[in-house]
Amino acid sequence: EVKPGPPKPQASCALPAADKQEVFTNTAMVKKAREGVMEFLLINHPLDCPICDQGGECDLQDQSLAYGRGHTRYHENKRAVTEKYMGPIVKTVMTRCIQCTRCVRFAEEVAGVEEIGALYRGENMQITSYLEKAITSELSGNVVDLCPVGALTSKPYAFEARPWELKKTFAIDVMDAVGTNIRLDSRGRQVLRALPRVNEEVNEEWASDKTRHAVDGLVRRRLDKPYLRRDGKLTPASWAEAFAAIKAVDAGSSVAAIAGPLVDCETLYAAKALLARMGSNLLEGRDNGLTYDASSLAAVNFNSTIAGIETADAILLVGTNVRWEAPLVNTRIRKAVKRGAKVFLIGEAIDLTYPVTCLGNDLGLLGDLPEAVIAAFGKAERPAVIVGGGAMAAGQGASLALIETLGLIKEGWNGYNVLHISAARMGGLMLGYAQPGGIADVAAAKPKLALLLGSEDLDINPFGDMCKVYIGHHGDSGAAMADVILPAASYAEKSGTYVNLEGRVQRGDRAVFPPGDAREDWAILRALSEVLGHRLPFDTLDELRVAMVADVLALGDIGEIARFAWSPPSLDTAASGAIRYPIKDFYLTNAIARASDTMRRCSAELLHGESYAEAAE
């Protein structure tokens, strides 16, 4: 209610402020108007609250409690809408829909996949996906958070729990290198869902479908007891037997540690400290075979920052499918394009959800850029190059040469960016998990003992007859090639520090406990060190963190971006050859995702065209 003004309520969202204006927010007129609006919203809304998954965290419930009438004056039949199919992630009950069109706007403006829209008009209006097909966006799960009613809910989480039953734990996602801030909701010893937390510097308020729905893989194909390979077959063993088998190798200083993509910094540091006491520095984290030069951390960092890339006005993508490798960096680039940025791509032509000029699939283009690129970057105030895994092995030197060619470094701006795809990569590089020649250097050293810290993609053929000790949480390819398996904790089952692709140090807490005899990785290494006669000097996680921060000071600045001095490595600037993107299947990139029924169904349906019948079919 506004004075002076007409004797009727004003819409607060459309009322401009003025001098000598009195605004009343709690008068009888306002109360009656709010009740009327709520009454209209609820005229056709079904009373599904007892069976609706949104119950307890529903915007419409909260608003009707605060502003609604205590009774209804409407006795006509309510409208009903047929169910729509939106794929394996989103469950629909469209009779509950209030046509706010938030999902339509998200798909169009943020995800860039225009597959959700409205049919018909007035009372007959319906929200649906295009031809009622599955939504192909890797960000589709966000519409569940956006929906203010129970029309769009999470299909894998349907009828699992009520929000007040769940323990909520702040954690960091490990499905990619973005470091998405998430909240893990658990009941008992199982994580039931993962939701994004708001962090404007990293993930804004979004999370990818893999981040949200790979959590059902945390309880499948788990390693819950030690195993020993006897007569070529893995058989269950006790911790004492497993440790005795490792000690029997008598490796001396001939030992290596190879880190996988999901490992926390505490595990990396504990393994590094153990190897140092044994007299070895064979540390490597690039188990997928990439051999870029990591002597300068600034040259392998996302220097523009995730939030900063949306202010770039000319962007060259080299060997990266950003949409799969870092979906939430892709949404930032999409924002930059909306502001007028031009995007060029060297690599296989792909749909990135925004206009891209594809220059060709040849690394040789880095030394012979077309005039259109030179002209666009010449006028750019904030030019950026993003180099992905597809170009890092053979083209990093040529991409570094672009710093001079395209003027990427200016006052207050560094436009040279490397896009990592592993959550453990930057933390590992800061802790020294990089040999000059990559994994080949470790193979050439022929270690007698190798600690595989969750490593899944390693090619063991060049290593000979070394004893392979797998410290991990899933019975995947890493466990299949091991001689000794020590069951460890997943990211949801331990407190861990992670460094994302821009060098931001973040820490997540433990949501649940590991299954069976599995233990936290650092505790396994601490116990093993005692058996091997090289006792590590810490007994608690806090003591370990004090030692880790003393070794690398930046790992103690939680929430801050580590500052790396700029000293580009001297690499060969000649490059040629076709680019192959490292990720072949977005939904099945790691052991947790491959164990997830939801991720396997997403892969089969959305990428490989398999069809699934719904219950009624």
What pLDDT sits at residue 271? 95
pTM over 0.85? The answer is yes
- DSSP for residue 2: E
**Average of pLDDT values for 296-318?**
92
β-strand pairing of 449-453 with 152-154: unpaired
- Cβ burial of 80 (10 Å; 0-12, 13-18, 19+) is exposed
Of 4-13, 236-245, 276-285, 472-481, the one with minimum mean pLDDT is 4-13
β-strand pairing of 383-387 with 357-360: unpaired
**Average of pLDDT values for 15-38?**
90
Q: Cβ(162)–Cβ(56) under 8 Å?
A: yes
**What strand order describes the sheet that includes 190-196?**
167-172, 181-187, 190-196
What pLDDT sits at residue 20? 86
Of 26-30, 90-94, 407-411, 608-612, the one with minimum mean pLDDT is 608-612
Query: Which residue is associated with the tokens 């996906």?
Result: 129
> Residue 142: CB partners within 8 Å, gap ≥ 6?
106, 110, 111, 196, 206, 207
β-strand pairing of 227-230 with 484-487: antiparallel
Nearest Cα neighbor of 369 from 398, 337, 349, 397 is 398
* Confidence band for 384, pLDDT divided at 50, 70 and 90: very high
What pLDDT sits at residue 51? 93
Is residue 441 over pLDDT 70? yes
Which amino acid appears at position 551 of this protein? D
β-strand pairing of 383-387 with 314-318: parallel
* Confidence band for 4, pLDDT divided at 50, 70 and 90: confident
- What is the distance between the alpha carbons of residues 238 and 177, in angstroms, rounded to a whole number? 35
What sign does the CA torsion over 472, 473, 475, 477 have?
A: negative
- What is the distance between the alpha carbons of residues 503 and 561, in angstroms, rounded to a whole number? 5
Output the average pLDDT for the chain. 91
Is residue 550 over pLDDT 90? yes
What pLDDT sits at residue 613? 66
**Average of pLDDT values for 163-174?**
95
Tokens encoding 361: 């699939």
> Residue 52: CB partners within 8 Å, gap ≥ 6?
58, 93, 96, 150, 153
Query: Which residue is associated with the tokens 């030069």?
Result: 293
What pLDDT sits at residue 570? 77
**Average of pLDDT values for 119-139?**
88
Of 78-92, 138-152, 176-190, 600-614, the one with minimum mean pLDDT is 600-614
**Average of pLDDT values for 434-463?**
88
In angstroms, the Cα distances linking 264 to 63, 65, 234, 360, 481 are 42, 44, 27, 37, 22
**Average of pLDDT values for 150-174?**
94
What pLDDT sits at residue 289? 66
- What is the distance between the alpha carbons of residues 308 and 310, in angstroms, rounded to a whole number? 5
* Confidence band for 367, pLDDT divided at 50, 70 and 90: confident
Percent of the chain with pLDDT over 70: 99
Q: Write out pLDDT tens, residues 454-476.
A: 998 888 888 878 899 999 999 99
> Residue 574: CB partners within 8 Å, gap ≥ 6?
367, 397, 398
- What is the distance between the alpha carbons of residues 103 and 151, in angstroms, rounded to a whole number? 10
- What is the distance between the alpha carbons of residues 548 and 496, in angstroms, rounded to a whole number? 12
Which amino acid appears at position 399 of this protein? S
What pLDDT sits at residue 614? 65
* Confidence band for 220, pLDDT divided at 50, 70 and 90: very high
Q: Write out pLDDT tens, residues 175-211.
A: 999 999 999 999 999 999 999 999 999 999 999 999 9
* Confidence band for 303, pLDDT divided at 50, 70 and 90: very high
What pLDDT sits at residue 615? 58
**Average of pLDDT values for 313-326?**
93
- What is the distance between the alpha carbons of residues 447 and 597, in angstroms, rounded to a whole number? 37
Which amino acid appears at position 498 of this protein? Y
Higher pLDDT, 520 or 6: 520
